[in-house]
Copies of this chain bind each other. A is one copy, B any other.
Amino acid sequence: MATPPLASGGIDEVLHAQLRAMMPLTETDFAALRAVLLPRDLRKHELLLREGEICHAAAYIERGGLRYYYTVEGEERTGQFFFEHEWYADYDSFLDQKPARQSIEALEPTRVWLLPRADLYRLYDERPVFERFGRLMAEQAYRGSRARGAGLLNLTPAERYAQLLRDRPQLVQRVSQRLLASYLGLKPESLSRIRGRAS
């Protein structure tokens, strides 16, 4: 199955460059990955994964954005946002194949390429270079979780918002304040007040 049309259309260059920066990757390695990627288009607000389902695939975002969220006492809490050229999977569910505790939603019209878990594990066996890919994904998940926890414990809401403005200004532009507030652990009214105070 040489160069199927599946993974064509623009992701090749960026994804290829990203992977080569992570690990030594031959053309045939990359072709083997491309051959198992499945495209999926999501409308705004469409779910890629629903709480309770099992996460069977990791997703590479070609364009658009995702967020994952869960519900506490009837109220949505946003855990993280992801945008084009990033990978995302519900790692807890993906690793252990247990029901997800959170849902993944498209923030806007979004195209992702799905990497099925079964194919990834086969790549681990057939092409050891992908072992490093898996390890780096795991380490990334750990570091992300740590950074998020540290921010929540050590910073005030106003400081968290200031940090977000500094570190991810494009994010603040791109998503609604309601979602930003739920990401920062605040009510929308409080975020509005903090924004007012800051200026």
- List A residues at the B interface (Cβ < 8 Å): 72, 77, 91-92, 95, 138-139, 141-143, 145-146, 148-149, 152-154, 185
Contact = CB atoms under 8 A, between A and B. Distances in A.
Q: Which of A92, A95, A143, A153 has the most CB of B within 10 A?
A: A153
Contact of A185 (B91, B142, B153): B153
A71 to B, nearest CB: 11
Please report whether the interface of chain A is mostly helix, strand, loop or mixed according to DSSP.
Answer: helix
B95 A154 contact: no
A77 B154 contact: yes
A142 B137 CA distance: 12
A193 to B, nearest CB: 20
A24 B117 CA distance: 26
Contacts of A92: 143, 146
A154 B70 CA distance: 11
Given A138-B138, A142-B142, A149-B152, 11 more contacts: A72-B154, A77-B154, A91-B142, A92-B143, A95-B139, A138-B142, A145-B145, A145-B146, A145-B149, A148-B149, A149-B149
Contacts of A153: 77, 152, 185
Nearest to A95: B139
Contacts of A143: 92
A143 B91 CA distance: 10
User: Which 6 A-B pairs give the minimum distances between C-beta atoms?
Assistant: A149-B149, A145-B145, A142-B142, A152-B152, A152-B153, A72-B154
21 contacts: A72-B154, A77-B153, A77-B154, A91-B142, A92-B143, A92-B146, A95-B139, A138-B138, A138-B142, A141-B142, A142-B142, A142-B145, A145-B145, A145-B146, A145-B149, A148-B149, A149-B149, A149-B152, A152-B152, A152-B153, A153-B185
Contacts of A138: 138, 142
A98 to B, nearest CB: 12
